[in-house]
Structure 1
Amino acid sequence: VFEMYYVELATGLRRGELLGLKWEDLDFEHENLRVKRQIARINGEIVEAPLKTKNAYRTLPLAEDTIAVLKQQKKKVGSSHWVFPSPTGGPISPDSVLHMLHRVLKRAGLPRVRFHDLRHTFATLALQNGVDVKTVSGMLGHFSAGFTLDTYAHVTTAAQKEAARTMEKVLMAAL
């Protein structure tokens, strides 16, 4: 499951979006992936479903490391249409992904987290490392940067404090 969690942390996709990825959605030449569908459990059945909002339909750039991980995944799954297929060849159940995550965390001696917390980790790390909020918002498929700011205000406050310290250095050097 390394590849699945790596891609999640590298892209911040929603769980259903990650599970809905098909190889046709990946463009290794142009280094991107298109988010076009999600996998959901509806009336007890695992189904392909449309995304919840028009902003959720998006194209995300991929870094070379993520492409390498995806190429490794392609070798593992062979002819499956799904990037992360279930053992039976269809899409993985969203519930199964959470149970797998909990098993991995338990073996590693780490606390249980929700799958959605991996998405939060992506956003927090991106913002803490200087990616602007508009870019992060677009990558997450949020309706507005304002929503992203509201959700990650604690991160942007820390970034603002760091910006104040940076400006202090600039101004003090000029005195």
Structure 2
Amino acid sequence: MSIRTNTAVWVEGRQRWQINVQKDGVRKTFTSAKPGRTGQREANRKADEWLEHSVISTSTKVDVLYPQFLTSKRATTSLSNCRPMDGRWRNKIQPLIGQKSIGRLTDGDLQQVLDRALAGGYSRKSLQNLRADLCAFLKWARRNRYTTLTGEDLEISKAAQRGQKRILQPKDVLILFNVDTTILRKNKAVEDYINAYRLEVLTGLRPGEINGLEWADWHGDRLELRRAINCYGETTTGKNDNARRVVYLSSLARQVLEDQYRITGPKGSVFCISNLQHYHSRWKRYCKVNGLPDIAPYEIRHTFVSISDALPEAQMKKLVGHSQSMDTYGVYGHEVQGEGEEISRNLDAIFSKILSAT
């Protein structure tokens, strides 16, 4: 730990208090624009905090520390979150900063990781995930006294493109609700998961939520979502804090569940999906056989969101469990008497219009 021997001075030309300090060969300037002795004390405090914050090692390479960070993440989060982090480390982070010592790592090095990823075609969403990885690593490194970097100045370029979400158009939805067959072993057969596809469109459930749905979750006009089963077979409570929710059902959605109940009810899994990879491949085959666009199962959910965009925002969140831009509803939103029936009526009106088209 270094000890400050000077004090902040007032710089008239810049109208601020300023102090220069040095530690381990690194020189830094701290300032405060507050007038009077309050500003001087604030600048001195900033300098003292930096001087007192010592690190235990600055020569350890990122190649050594980052795998330790990933190991700590595996102990606290699901495999479906960790696997992508492993991939981003190997493909985007390690090649650029893996051989750097943590003490020589700069914000510029970290920004270069993001800029290179952008040049390599990363979408805005992918860049946000990459930045989150870097900031989480720095937080872990600070806690373990390897660095003082925060990553708070890392920026995602405005040139980053937003990923284009694909959906089923109304004519495609019409096919989905009128054709229940596919081709298996060169023969026409009933698609086992047809009701799962239809329920996704009618409710906006995620594939993992469809996979985790049990008959005990169905209560007449609503579903109580308690779990999701991801592509690694892990049972989780869902993607975010809003994933556990009540989903109100339109009469069309109830009809789909009643049809499925005659097949797999009354106990256990609703759709008896062996795994999400199988679900994905069966959906892709169904699309190819019946002339639907080649979209991923998750994009069936986007179809619901797009079709139902006339719903009030608060009602939409209750249905799809979004985590962004709707936090106020999550904190303060409670069911108003009769709201569930109103949501069901609104959904019936929206989907009946599509399905009655010729």
Q: If the length of structure 2 is used for normalisation, what is the TM-score?
A: 0.36
**Cα offset for 1:144?**
3.7
Q: Is the 8 A contact 1:134 1:145 kept in 2?
A: no
Deviates more, 1:67-76 or 1:132-141: 132-141
Give the aligned residue type for 2:298.
Answer: H
What's the counterpart of residue 37 of structure 1? 227
Cα displacement string for residues 124-154 of structure 1 (whole angstroms, at most 9, x for unaligned residues) = 0000xx212232133111124459xxxxxxx
**Is the 2:237–2:244 Cα contact (8 Å) retained in structure 1?**
no
What displacement does 1:80 show?
4.4
| Structure 2 residue aligned with 1:47 | 234
Number of the residue aligned with 1:165: none
Structure 2 residue aligned with 1:123, among 305, 314, 332?
Answer: 305
User: Which residues of 2 match residues 4-43 of structure 1 at below 5 A?
Assistant: 4-28=196-220, 31-42=221-232
**In the alignment, does 2:194 pair up with 1:2?**
yes
Residue equivalent to 1:159: none
SS at match of 2:235: strand
8 Å contact kept, 1:9–1:118: yes
For residues 228 and 269 of structure 2, the distance between their equivalents in structure 1, rounded to whole angstroms, comes to 12
Give the conservation status (yes or no) of the 8 Å contact 1:8–1:18.
yes
What amino acid sits opposite 1:14 in the alignment?
Answer: R
CA distance 1:143–1:47, shift in 2 (3 Å): closer
Aligned with 1:113: secondary structure? coil
**Larger fraction in helix:** 1
Residue 7 of structure 1: CA displacement?
A: 0.6
- TM-score, normalising length from structure 1? 0.71
Q: 1 CA distance for matches of 2:324 and 2:318?
A: 8
* Deviation for aligned residue 1:54: 2.1
**Pairing 1:94–2:284 present:** no
In 2, the alpha carbon distance for the partners of 1:11 and 1:142 equals 13
Q: 2:293 aligns with which of 111, 121, 132?
A: 111
Contact 1:133 1:145 in 2 (8 A): no
- Identify if the C-alpha distance between structure 1 residues 51 and 76 changes in structure 2 by more than 3 Å, giving closer, same or farther: same
Cα deviation 1:102-143 (Å, max 9, x = unaligned)? 01001012231111110100000000xx21223213311112
Partners of 2:306 and 2:231 in 1: CA distance: 28
Cα RMSD of the aligned pairs, angstroms, is 1.7
Matches within 5 A, 1:54-93: 54-86=241-273, 92-93=274-275
Whether contact under 8 Å (1:21, 1:37) holds in the other structure is yes
Matching residue's letter, 2:226: K
Deviation of the 1:69 alpha carbon: 1.2
Gaps of 5+ in 1: 87-91, 148-175
Q: Which residue of 2 aligns with 1:160?
A: none
Counting matched residue pairs gives: 135
User: Counterpart of 2:320 in structure 1: which amino acid?
Assistant: L
**1: CA distance between counterparts of 2:286 and 2:239?**
29
Q: Which runs of 5+ in 2 are unaligned?
A: 1-192, 328-358
Amino acid corresponding to residue 275 of structure 2 in structure 1: S
Q: Is 1:142 equivalent to 2:322 in the alignment? A: yes
Match of 2:239, SS? coil
Q: Percent identity?
A: 27
Query: Are the counterparts in 2 of residues 40 and 47 from structure 1 also a CA contact under 8 Å?
Result: yes
Query: Higher relative contact order by CA 8 Å / sep ≥ 6: 1 or 2?
Result: 1
Cα distance in 2 between the residues matched to 1:57 and 1:111 = 30
Question: Post-superposition shift, 1:23?
Answer: 0.4
Give the match for residue 150 of structure 1: none
